[in-house]
């Protein structure tokens, strides 16, 4: 596909949707990139959809004219997932931001794709409920579903994959489908819900989501412990999980990450390998879980156990964890972050992180490591000056080795950021030509004109 | 597709696979049906595969000759899922019954599709592990994945959908793909794992599975309570789940089901609405969960709380639950069972079961109800004399009304048995022409010759 102008598409969109269509330069620039390091590209126009019909209208016109369409939510993706690399239309669904239905009895809710995570939890909290997936950023739920996001609570509650019950999706030809009923489980036909979760807008546009939610626990307790080595912490976590002890979050920060957080967030955490944990339940059950976790971790060399149920203290701790990215950036002059993630079987996690730490030293790169250790998933938050070309080159080589290392350990090139444009060269290394060929067959069958977020997930060589 | 003979296919299969190919009448009859009421149809031949290569060879030959292929495991499906309704080849994978790898650290295992549930748990138990999905029947894991099975423990551990991490699948053209790496989570590309889970052998044949497993809990406690009404029991369960209390199983038996079980299994359960529960954890945590559950359920009218941690007593109780089907059949002269299931949002479960009970009375049918109440899923175990044609007709009309009732309550026509041939007319009612059209597009793209289990899931009108 070549970069072409799409003026007749824009004319038709304007006739159908009026001032929901913008070609304003500022609007186009806002939709040209996400929070990543990846190249920005301007869309030819931005459509601000306010309902499913707007999305269907846009897709019908774009499909007829073979104009690319890339859905856009909060722009917080990290692999260029929402960047319109072939121009065309950026279809902004951020104004579709209504929570449509909440059921306390069924523990589910239905919402539009532009609802943001914090907004959803504010509304749910008035019903005594919460939605656990927490990728850090205040992303839209539509974007989180499209990316297959997860985060710090996956170890207890699961990722978007587990918690999306049903989607309303507009297909490239403008048809509106609902992928599942509202029953908690079903074995009726192909699992279209999971096909669209993680498809990054390459098969259709999500215009409604039904999500599982949970009752806010009576008690939420946070705790920290430090460890003499990375391996001792990971071995402890493996045992905690083997025993089925109920941890709601269990995050690993390496010494560099702790140091960056302390400087940025005015915390005073011990600057060595740290586990940051959270426990959800009744007063009795969390006390049992905490005692059991502490006992296991102390046996593995953990020390300095500190615990709090004070909400302000707890929030400060998790905000500090979520601010790691900003914290790291502040330590390197003129730095931008290059955040990447891989995920390996937990038995290989210590090996993978230790080899990665050694590689960082050898590569003269600053990259604190933070991990959703219960899932075997970790992030390297590389702080790189984009004008320092030798540094950028070292970073790119480091990144390739990181992915190769994870794949050699039976892991994946991306635990939770998606493929986007940033990991597109690795998908075949991970799953093989035949499996990616099956994905390409599905893509071609459902989007024969190739209008949906072209250039993402599946490399052009498959088309 | 018409019913044709496939003699040249059989000749080619024999040349390639020798005596793994059988046209013996007894073997063909064994592969002509499952455990359901649905019509039996003979395959032209049975291939006993012993490895992935055998499966690939079979599919390549059948695809070239456009011969239907239906994978076969234990034959325990309930919607005619494995019946070769257009003849062709029944591809028996029951001899592919090896557990290939178990990891205590990663809590996962890899196995061949012919491994049966009880066999897997025997092997896992020597490592202190277990696999929780329990559909009752001693099904193969390949069949359970293909059907999207679940069962009594889904409320705590999830269904096959949640616990299959990766599949090796032979596609219709004989290519071998692996759908995912062994990382606990990934957002790399389309979720092919979930596409094949529940696809009932219509897109390919599963030849290897990687599954999540769990540590055997320190304590497993069973408990029962009876209720003055169905609604009081369901309301109690809704509240237990809202509080996030850790129940591992929570099964509802209506008075007819309890009565049938008592007669058949020599139990002495009170013959009214009964909840049969199980709790997994440490001695301390199960004690807390049991006390909390009991308090909530007593507030909803539950009484007669009985609990046991004795393994023999516990096994007897669950065996009695699993024998409900046999128990019901024994109460009607010359009866065969017609077991069906639907699943609705739990807020509608009382309405759905009460209306169904009234319909049974009006229809002069005997059909005890047993439910995975935590999931909103219930079974009606109709005992019907197949020679009593008016009874069969009443049964069929009742069944249609049951599905319509579940769909009207935002439920699904099948919670865990799959569509097979038995529910094929309802899939469009449930999801609409457009969504089933997307499924048909995927089917046509991946299996252009329509050889994989034709006549299942998607009705012929879509092709």
Handedness of CA B397, B400, B402, B408 (dihedral sign): negative
Per CATH, which fold does A217-423 belong to? Vanillyl-alcohol Oxidase; Chain A, domain 3 (3.40.462)
Q: What is the pLDDT of residues B71-99, one digit of tens each?
A: 999 999 999 999 999 999 999 999 999 99
B288 → closest Cβ in A177, A194, A284: A284
* Window 341-360 of A, Cβ < 8 Å to B: 343-347
Mutation target to probe the B interface, by most B beta carbons within 10 A, among A148, A185, A194 is A185
* pLDDT band at residue A5 using 50, 70 and 90 as cut-offs: low
Whether B243 contacts chain A with CB within 8 A: yes
Q: Do A171 and B434 touch (CB under 8 A)?
A: yes
Whether B433 contacts chain A with CB within 8 A: no
- Contact by Cβ (8 Å): A351, A287: no
Q: What are phi and psi of A112, to 5 degrees?
A: -85, 160
Question: What mean pLDDT comes out for the span A94-104?
Answer: 98
A16-20, A62-66, B333-337: which has the minimum mean pLDDT? B333-337
As a whole number, the mean pLDDT across chain A is 95
Q: Do B187 and A147 touch (CB under 8 A)?
A: yes
Q: What is the DSSP string of A288-347?
A: HHHHHHHHHHHHTT-EEEEEE--HHHHHHHHHHHHTHHHHHHTTSTT-EEEEEEEE--GG
The beta strands (E) that lie in B131-189 are given as 164-170, 176-178
Domain A7-94+445-457 in CATH 3.40.190.10? The answer is no
Mutation target to probe the B interface, by most B beta carbons within 10 A, among A164, A177, A184 is A184
Q: Do A186 and B343 touch (CB under 8 A)?
A: yes
- Contact by Cβ (8 Å): B350, B414: no
Q: Do A105 and B238 touch (CB under 8 A)?
A: yes
Whether B312 contacts chain A with CB within 8 A: no
- Contact by Cβ (8 Å): B221, A251: no
Q: Find chain A residues with C-beta within 8 A of B189's C-beta.
A: 198, 419, 427, 430-431, 436, 439, 457-458
Q: Find chain B residues with C-beta within 8 A of A147's C-beta.
A: 187
Token couple for B455: 């006549």
Q: Give the DSSP H or E segment for B460.
A: none
Note whether B7-94 and B219-324 share their fold: no
Q: What is the pLDDT of residues A313-330, one digit of tens each?
A: 888 888 878 888 888 888
Radius of gyration of chain B (CA): 22
Tell me the shortest Cα–Cα distance from A85 to chain B, in angstroms.
Answer: 18
Domain B219-324 in CATH 3.30.70.2190? The answer is yes
Whether A175 contacts chain B with CB within 8 A: yes
The pairing of beta strand A205-212 with beta strand A108-111: antiparallel
Nearest to B288 by CA among A246, A40, A45, A135: A246
CA B137 → CA A342, B78, B417, distances in Å? Answer: 39, 10, 12
Token couple for A98: 């209504």
Q: Find chain B residues with C-beta within 8 A of A194's C-beta.
A: 161, 191, 194-195
Residue in B with minimal Cα distance to A171: B438
* pLDDT band at residue A129 using 50, 70 and 90 as cut-offs: very high
Taking the C-alpha atoms of residue B160 and residue B405, their distance in angstroms, rounded to an integer, is 26
Q: Do A292 and B282 touch (CB under 8 A)?
A: yes
Asked if residue A365 has pLDDT above 70, the reply is yes
Pick the CATH number of B328-408 from 3.40.50.720, 3.30.70.2740, 3.40.50.620, 3.30.499.10: 3.30.70.2740
Per-residue pLDDT, A1: 42
Nearest to A179 by CA among A162, A166, A196: A166
Residue in A with minimal Cα distance to B439: A190
Q: Do B431 and A214 touch (CB under 8 A)?
A: no
Q: Find chain A residues with C-beta within 8 A of B237's C-beta.
A: none
Per-residue pLDDT, A339: 85
Q: What are phi and psi of A174, to 5 degrees?
A: 90, 5
* Window 247-306 of B, Cβ < 8 Å to A: 280-282, 284-285, 288-289, 292
Q: So where are chain A's domains?
A: 7-94+445-457, 99-215, 217-423
In the numeric block, the tokens 């309890």 are attached to: B258
Q: Do B434 and A192 touch (CB under 8 A)?
A: no
Residue in B with minimal Cα distance to A292: B282
* Window 380-399 of B, Cβ < 8 Å to A: none
Per-residue pLDDT, A2: 40
In the numeric block, the tokens 């250790």 are attached to: A373
Asked if residue A17 has pLDDT above 80, the reply is yes
Q: Do A186 and B419 touch (CB under 8 A)?
A: no
In the numeric block, the tokens 């649905």 are attached to: B38
Per CATH, which fold does A99-215 belong to? 3.30.465
Cα atoms in the 13 Å half-sphere on the side-chain side of A60: 13
Nearest to A402 by CA among A455, A356, A459: A356
Residue in B with minimal Cα distance to A242: B215
Taking the C-alpha atoms of residue B89 and residue B374, their distance in angstroms, rounded to an integer, is 39
Neighbours of A326 (CB within 10 A): 14
Taking the C-alpha atoms of residue B255 and residue B275, their distance in angstroms, rounded to an integer, is 11
Q: Can you count the helices (H) and strands (E) in chain B?
A: 16, 18
Per-residue pLDDT, B2: 40
Mutation target to probe the B interface, by most B beta carbons within 10 A, among A129, A143, A144, A186 is A186
Q: What is the pLDDT of residues B363-394, one digit of tens each?
A: 999 999 999 999 999 999 998 998 999 999 99
Question: What mean pLDDT comes out for the span A56-81?
Answer: 97
Per-residue pLDDT, B5: 64
B346 → closest Cβ in A105, A415, A444: A105
Q: Find chain A residues with C-beta within 8 A of B346's C-beta.
A: 105-106, 184
- Return the percentage of chain A with pLDDT > 90, whole number: 87
Token couple for A292: 């059991």
Q: Do B217 and A244 touch (CB under 8 A)?
A: yes
Tell me the shortest Cα–Cα distance from B25 to chain A, in angstroms.
Answer: 32
Q: Find chain A residues with C-beta within 8 A of B195's C-beta.
A: 190-191, 194-195, 442
Q: Give the DSSP H or E segment for B149.
A: none
Tell me the shortest Cα–Cα distance from A159 to chain B, in angstroms.
Answer: 8
- Contact by Cβ (8 Å): B85, B105: no
* Dihedral-angle region of residue A72 (phi above 0 means left; psi in -120 to 50 means alpha; beta otherwise): beta
Whether B375 contacts chain A with CB within 8 A: yes
Whether B195 contacts chain A with CB within 8 A: yes
Order of all β-strands in the sheet with A108-111: A99-103, A108-111, A205-212, A164-170, A176-178
User: Under DSSP, is residue B197 helix (H, G, I), strand (E, B) or coil?
Assistant: coil
Q: What is the pLDDT of residues A424-459, one digit of tens each?
A: 999 999 999 999 999 999 999 999 999 999 999 999
Treating both helix axes as pointing N-terminal to C-terminal, what angle do A230-242 and A283-299 enclose, rounded to 10 degrees? 140
Q: Do A183 and B419 touch (CB under 8 A)?
A: no
A347 → closest Cβ in B103, B238, B285: B103
Q: What is the pLDDT of residues A172-207, one digit of tens each?
A: 999 999 999 999 999 999 999 999 999 999 999 999
Neighbours of B238 (CB within 10 A): 23
CA A440 → CA A5, A46, B193, B322, distances in Å? Answer: 26, 27, 15, 43
Q: Find chain B residues with C-beta within 8 A of A375's C-beta.
A: 183-185
Q: What are phi and psi of B388, to 5 degrees?
A: -90, 90
Q: How far from the centroid of its chain's Cα atoms is residue A330's Cα?
A: 23
Per-residue pLDDT, B336: 85
B189 → closest Cβ in A161, A431, A441: A431
Q: Do A288 and B292 touch (CB under 8 A)?
A: no
Question: What mean pLDDT comes out for the span A45-54?
Answer: 98
Q: How far from the centroid of its chain's Cα atoms is residue A169's Cα?
A: 20
Mutation target to probe the A interface, by most A beta carbons within 10 A, among B190, B202, B348, B404 is B190
Q: What are phi and psi of A386, to 5 degrees?
A: -65, -20
Beta bridge partners of B371: B252, B378
Tell me the shortest Cα–Cα distance from A447 to chain B, in angstroms.
Answer: 11
Tell me the shortest Cα–Cα distance from B148 to chain A, in angstroms.
Answer: 5
Q: Looking at the domain covering B7-94, what would its CATH class be?
A: alpha beta
B410 → closest Cβ in A104, A182, A189: A182
Is this complex scored with an ipTM above 0.90? Answer: yes
**Positions in chain B short of pLDDT 50:** 1-3
* pLDDT band at residue A251 using 50, 70 and 90 as cut-offs: very high
Neighbouring residues of A58: CB distance < 8 A, sequence distance ≥ 6 = A13, A17, A47, A49, A69, A89, A91
């Amino acid at each position: 596909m070549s970069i072409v102008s799409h003026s007749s598409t824009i004319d038709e969109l304007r006739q159908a949707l009026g001032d929901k269509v913008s070609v304003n330069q500022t609007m186009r620039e806002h939709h040209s990139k996400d929070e990543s390091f990846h190249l920005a590209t301007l869309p030819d126009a931005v459509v601000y959809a306010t309902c499913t019909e707007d999305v269907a209208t846009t897709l019908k016109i774009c499909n007829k004219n073979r104009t690319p369409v890339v859905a856009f939510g909060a722009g917080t993706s990290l692999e260029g997932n929402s960047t319109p690399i072939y121009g065309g239309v950026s279809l902004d669904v951020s104004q579709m931001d209504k929570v449509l239905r909440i059921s306390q009895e069924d523990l589910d809710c239905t919402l539009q794709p532009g609802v943001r995570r914090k907004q959803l939890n504010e509304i749910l909290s008035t019903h005594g409920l919460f939605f656990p997936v927490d990728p850090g950023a205040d992303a839209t739920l539509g974007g989180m579903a499209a990316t297959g996001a997860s985060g710090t609570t996956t170890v207890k509650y699961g990722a978007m994959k587990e918690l999306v019950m049903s989607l309303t999706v507009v297909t490239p030809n403008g048809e509106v489908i609902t992928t599942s009923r509202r029953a908690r489980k079903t074995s009726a036909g192909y699992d279209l819900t999971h096909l669209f979760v993680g498809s990054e807008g390459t098969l259709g546009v999500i215009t409604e989501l039904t999500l599982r939610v949970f009752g806010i626990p009576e008690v939420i307790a946070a705790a920290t412990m430090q460890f003499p080595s990375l391996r001792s912490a990971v071995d402890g976590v493996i045992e905690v999980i083997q025993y089925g002890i109920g941890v709601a979050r269990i995050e690993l920060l390496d010494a560099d990450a702790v140091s960056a957080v302390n400087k940025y967030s005015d915390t005073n955490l011990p600057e060595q390998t740290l586990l940051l944990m959270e426990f959800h339940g009744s007063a009795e059950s969390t006390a049992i879980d905490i005692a059991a976790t502490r006992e296991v971790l102390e046996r593995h060399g953990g020390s300095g156990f500190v615990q709090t149920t004070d909400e302000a203290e707890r929030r400060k701790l998790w905000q500090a964890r979520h601010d790691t990215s900003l914290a790291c950036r502040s330590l390197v002059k003129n730095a931008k972050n290059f955040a990447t993630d891989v995920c390996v079987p937990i038995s290989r996690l210590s090996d993978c992180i230790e080899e990665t730490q050694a590689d960082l030293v050898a590569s003269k790169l600053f990259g604190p490591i933070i991990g959703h250790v219960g899932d075997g998933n970790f992030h390297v938050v590389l702080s790189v000056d984009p004008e320092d070309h030798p540094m950028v080159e070292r970073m790119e080589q480091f990144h390739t080795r990181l992915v190769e290392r994870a794949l050699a350990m039976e892991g994946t090139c991306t635990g939770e950021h998606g493929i986007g444009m940033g990991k597109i060269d690795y998908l075949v290394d991970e799953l093989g030509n035949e499996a990616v060929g099956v994905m390409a067959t599905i893509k071609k069958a459902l989007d024969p004109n190739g209008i949906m977020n072209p250039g993402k997930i599946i490399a052009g060589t498959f088309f």
